[in-house]
Amino acid sequence: MPGEKITLIPVPGEVITMPGESHVDMLKSFYDFVKSKVRIGVEGYNMSSLHTLDLVRSLAKLFESCGEVLAVQVPRDLQTNAINGRCTLVVLRGEGAQEKALALDGTDMGGWILSVTVLPSELSELSSSSGLSTAELAVRQVAHFERKSSEGISVTGYDHSLPGDVVKSDLTNRFSSCGKITDVFVLNSRALIYFFGIGAVHKALRLCREPDSVHRAKALPTPKRKINHEPAVPEAPFI
C-alpha cells in the first residue's frame, strides 16, 4: 500500500541482504562499521557519590566534542541502578575521535579526575594484529561458513589414469551448473564434491542419472563436515 511502512524481521540464523548485495558485501559493511567505532574506557569517578544518569549525561556532553557519541555504558546494578564498576565504556565515531578522546585524559570533572584509555575492538578479528582488511576478513568468514554448511556427493566413473588436478578441473566443469562448489577432493577410488546452495546435491545426482553421463554419484550423509580450525583464507582446490 502507498505510504505503508515495511519492517523486515530477521529469522534467527538467517542473514538478510538488500537486493543486489552479496553476503561478502554485507559482512564487509558490518566490519567497516564496527571498525569505525572507538571504544574508550573512562575511570576516576566516585561510584558512591554519582548517580548513573548523571554520569551518562556528563560523559556524553564531554565526549561530544570528540565525535559522534554512540553509547555510554555505565556498569550498574540492574535492580537499584547504582553504579557498581570503576570503568565506563564510551563508544565514539568520527575522524580523529580517538586522539581527541585521549586528549581529555586528566580532565577535572569537578571533584574527580578523568582517566581515559583506548579499549580493543569488540571483535577480536578486527584487531590490527590480524593484518587483514575488512574485505579480506569478510571473504574469509563467508568462505568458512559456506564450506562448513556445504553438502557433498561421492563420484565415480571418471578416468583414474588422469592426474588429480585434471580430474578436479573436469569435475568442476561438469558439476558447476548444479551450485557453488566449495571443495573437490580426488581420492584413490572416488572423488568428493561439496556444494553450497539449496538443491545443489539433488541437481548433481540428477545430472549423473542422465543417459550420456559416465559419472555415478551418491549423496554423502549429513551433517558430515567437521571444520575445527579458525576460518582460513579460501582455498583454491581446483587448480
Phi, psi of 95 (to 5 degrees): -65, 125
- The answer to whether residues 166 and 145 touch, using CB atoms and an 8 Å cutoff, is no
Provide the domain limits for residue 51: 23-123
Residues sharing a CB contact under 8 Å with residue 19, sequence separation 6 or more, in sequence order: none
Q: Is residue 235 part of a domain?
A: no
Tell me what pLDDT residue 52 has. 92
Whether residue 200 sits in one domain with residue 165: yes
Question: How many separate domains does the chain show?
Answer: 2
In degrees to the nearest 10, what's the CA dihedral of 52, 53, 59, 61? -170
Q: Are residues 117 and 169 in the same domain?
A: no
Question: The pTM is what?
Answer: 0.64
Cell numbers for 124: 577480536
Phi-psi region of 179 (alpha: psi -120 to 50; beta: other; left: phi over 0): left
| Mean pLDDT per 10-residue interval, the chain, length 239 residues | 37 44 87 92 91 94 96 93 93 96 94 93 75 88 91 95 95 96 94 95 95 92 57 37
Sequence-distant (≥ 6) Cβ neighbours of residue 100 within 8 angstroms: 65, 66, 67
For residues 219 and 151, give the distance between their C-alpha atoms in angstroms, rounded to a whole number. Answer: 8
CA distance 54 to 120: 26
Q: Are residues 119 and 171 in the same domain?
A: no
Element (H, E) at 97: helix 97-102
- Assess if residue 133 is contained within a domain: no
**Predicted local confidence at residue 21, as pLDDT:** 55
Do 96 and 168 belong together in one domain? Answer: no
Statement to judge: residues 106 and 31 lie in one domain? yes
Residue 140 lies in a domain: no
| CATH number, residue 30 | 3.30.70.330
The rounded Cα 34 to chain-centroid distance in angstroms is: 11
Backbone angle region of 169, left / alpha / beta, with phi > 0 → left and psi within -120 to 50 → alpha: alpha
Whether residue 68 is found in the same domain as residue 106: yes
Across 12-41, b (16+ Cβ under 10 Å) vs e yields eeeeeeeeeeeebebbbeebeeeebbbbbe
CB atoms within 10 A of CB 139: 19
Which phi and psi angles does 13 have, rounded to 5°?
85, -10
pLDDT at 124: 78
Whether 117 and 162 map to the same domain: the answer is no
Residue 138 lies in a domain: no
Is residue 46 domain-shared with residue 107, that is, in the same domain?
yes
